[in-house]
Amino acid sequence: MNFFSRSKSLTRGVLFSMNLLAGLALTAQLAQAEVVPVNIHAVENTVEVDNKGTQYASWNFDGTIPGPVVRVKEGDVVDFTLINDKTNQKSHSMDFHAAIVDVLNEFSPVKPGESKHYKFEAKYPGVFMYHCGAESMAEHIARGMFGIIIVDPKQGYNEAYPRPDREYVLVQSQLFPNASDHHALMENTGWTNALINGKVFHYDPVHDPNATLALQAKPGERVRLYFVNANINMPVALHPIAGIWERVYPNGNPKNVLYGMATYNVAVSEASTFDIVSPADHATNNAIVDHTMGAAHRGAITVLMNTPDADPEAGKGTHILLR
């Protein structure tokens, strides 16, 4: 089976297909490990960073902030290629936090017009950040070069790690209008907004009348959030207003489980998994915030609507990272 494609849209479709395959595989206990080809392009382009279309000179993976969701299962071998398009100005690299390799080899920078191929085994289940590590790493991350890799556990779902009804990816980052000011990046000054999946108040029609998206679920459903802190310098105090995290899985590993958490502190570069279950007998809403007020008021609020008429497709299959 050949998953390779140089087309960005096709690549994304392939990744979504892989999501589906991973989901199906998860239903079979002790599913067979596979070699999973993953091709990602480093892209230097202009993206919208809020709901009213403000443009930003971004560097990213496959053209979007964050990059594509990569989803495999524990034990799979990720057969990875980073393509740095020749139209780019900068060298870029790819650092998967799910990989155990050599920082001087696999994670080394790739010049424009060149590519880098390496393999790694997804040895630990969970959720992990990926990002560019080329100099200056702070600028490459600040401009949008990050994403998530989900490694589903090979044993599948069980009492300790129940099957979710819906899944969503949320990646938080800081917007630095002048990301070339490395001093500002080091001192954590000059950032103007918090981004959720690349946009200010991306899923918050309460605080932004231009927002058209929100997370959706039905009352009583288990909603699983895969969260990445892609900030440059600030931890995230993730709290579901009007709810409690039924479970938190630090780093997303089913062996790491915390129950009944109001707030969980997500370190810079950490990814973790959060389950929330709303009351089953009536419609409710949650506001998932970075309770660090300087970030919340600058864009890090996400509305989760728990209503009987929730879109049946939302938070399922290919619809876990809403664009």
Residues that bind Cu ion (CB under 5 A): 92, 132, 134, 140, 145
The tokens for 235 are 């931890």
CB of 102 to Cu ion, least distance (A): 19
Q: How far is CA 130 from CA 63, 158, 274, in A?
A: 15, 27, 19
* Alpha carbon distance 85, 318 (integer Å): 26
Task: Tell me how far, at minimum, the Cβ of 87 lies from Cu ion, in Å.
Answer: 14
Q: Where are the alpha helices (DSSP H) in the chain?
A: 8-27, 137-142, 182-187, 293-296
Which residue, 99 or 300, has its beta carbon nearer to Cu ion? 99
Query: From the CB of residue 287, how many other CB atoms can be counted at a distance below 10 Å?
Result: 18
Q: Between 116 and 154, whose beta carbon lies closer to Cu ion?
A: 116
Between residues 33 and 138, which has the closer beta carbon with respect to Cu ion? 138
Q: What is d(CA 242, CA 250) in angstroms, rounded to the nearest whole number?
A: 22
User: Cβ-count burial of 323 within 10 angstroms (0-12 exposed, 13-18 middle, 19+ buried)?
Assistant: exposed
Q: Smaller CB distance to Cu ion: residue 39 or 306?
A: 39
159, two tokens: 């009492």
Contact in structure between 258 and 203 (CB atoms under 8 Å): no
Q: Which is nearer to Cu ion, 128 or 249 (CB)?
A: 128
Minimum separation from the CB atom of position 88 to Cu ion (A): 9
Closest distance to Cu ion from the beta carbon of 94 (Å) = 9
Q: Cα dihedral angle (25, 30, 33, 38), rounded to 10 degrees?
A: 40
User: Smallest gap, in angstroms, from Cβ of residue 179 to Cu ion?
Assistant: 11
CB nearer Cu ion, residue 109 or residue 299: 109
Q: Which residue's CB comes closest to Cu ion?
A: 132
When the beta carbons of 139 and 221 are compared against Cu ion, the nearer one is 139
CA dihedral sign of residues 28, 80, 313, 300: positive
In the complex, minimum distance from the CB of residue 89 to Cu ion, in angstroms, rounded to a whole number: 11
User: Least separation, in Å, of the C-beta of 109 and Cu ion?
Assistant: 8
With b for 16 or more beta-carbon neighbours within 10 A and e for fewer, the 152-184 pattern comes to bbbbbeeeebeebbbbbbbbbbbbbeebeeeeb
β-strands 215-217, 301-306 pairing: parallel
Which CB, 228 or 305, lies closer to Cu ion?
228
Other Cβ atoms less than 10 A from the Cβ of 100: the count is 11
CB of 82 to Cu ion, least distance (A): 10
